[in-house]
Structure 1
Amino acid sequence: MRSASYSCASRSSERRSVGSSPTTSSASSRVADYDAVLVGSGINSLVCAAFLARAGWRVAVLEREAELGGAVRTAELTEPGFHHDVFSAWHPLWVGSPAHAELGSALAERGLEYLNTEHPTGTLFPDGESAFLTTATDGNAAELDRLAT
């Protein structure tokens, strides 16, 4: 079995290997150097890359944007210095997923930490109505009942 490794390349021409610091992409990197090439660095591609790398595959993740992460990245979207979760609704879904259950401890070892709240996500509708996801099954059932009436 090969050792687990994957690299990620973004438009900024940096290539990152798990467990190492960013390096500049080399023209000698070819698709033939990898067992799998994933296009896009959203949560699904990153999870897929992690599982394939754990299985011993050599994996490359390609991203057109300057930063990796897709919907689960942080960016300055409005004001300089004010950081937003690009699509923060993905975070509660990720934390509750089987993939997070398997990969979460390895990510925590690398510094990823999630804080929880009673209402991790919600949405506001054009008519001013709102809906919230809670951390309690009973709370979610009550919210769905409220919205159905």
Structure 2
Amino acid sequence: MKDQQDIVDNPPPGGSTGDPFTISNSLNAAQTVTVWIAKGTRWSDRDQVKAIKVVYADGTARVHGNQTGTSHSFKFDSDERVTSMGIWTGDRVDRIKWETNQNRTFDHGGWGGTEHSEELGNGILLGFSGSADSHELISLGASFREDSD
């Protein structure tokens, strides 16, 4: 039986305010990830990640943040794994980007912040943790299955 030790939890970089959240469904892999992108509240001259939603194969959906702006979705194929992921943050979540073993890329958000490379485990995305306020995501880190899958 798998437990928390089988998960690579990346600490969520970004600001220190907002309400903490965790998006997960036990050790089930994320099937579809959607982000909403719009101008920031505090920084109205640049795009930021306003919300994130993960849907799992059993239909369970988890969402946090403010679902305003333009939405962008990525549906993983059953054998698809993340090969690189970066999350750009300052005081807010500016951008999220990943590439997969099927040469597909998901890259959305603004151009501010500093890139934080995520540890990938075996590349199977499980979810995210972080914090959000009523306007946008403040911090965000990804969770993956451990290498020993």
TM-score where L is the length of structure 2: 0.21
Q: Greater RCO between the two (CA within 8 Å, min separation 6)?
A: 2
TM-score where L is the length of structure 1: 0.21
When you count strand as a share of all residues, which structure comes out higher? 2
When you count helix as a share of all residues, which structure comes out higher? 1
